[in-house]
Amino acid sequence: MFDIGFLEILVIAVISLIVMGPERLPQALRTFALWFGRIRQQFRSVRAELEDEIGIDDVRRQLHNENILKDLEDAKNNIADTMNSNSTEADQTENNTSKQNSASDILPSPDKNQK
């Protein structure tokens, strides 16, 4: 949430100790933690209320379903492309085989009985 490092927290702690003194610092930290917790709780409450009002669950579910449908469509296209490429390769192989067969039909086969 905040970009505060260890060094900054240490500086704040030392300054707080100097300003408030060791007697009042524990009570001040408890009060700060209490207020911080209340603020976080209020933010969570407001967020949950807004999500309920706009129906964020329905929107998330719809987006998820759209992503699934898109993935299914992509898979369907990939399968169709693979089938088309395999069909094309099979046709080419069949054409090559038929050309070889027709070429062997045209050429006379050597007769073993002739010398």
pLDDT digits (tens, 9 = 90+) for 43-101: 999 999 988 888 877 888 888 889 999 999 999 999 998 888 888 877 788 777 776 66
| Per-residue pLDDT at 13 exceeds 90 | no
Phi and psi dihedrals of 10, rounded to 5? -65, -40
> What pLDDT score was predicted for residue 37?
95
| Per-residue pLDDT at 108 exceeds 80 | no
pTM of the complete model beyond 0.75: no
> What pLDDT score was predicted for residue 107?
52
> What pLDDT score was predicted for residue 105?
57
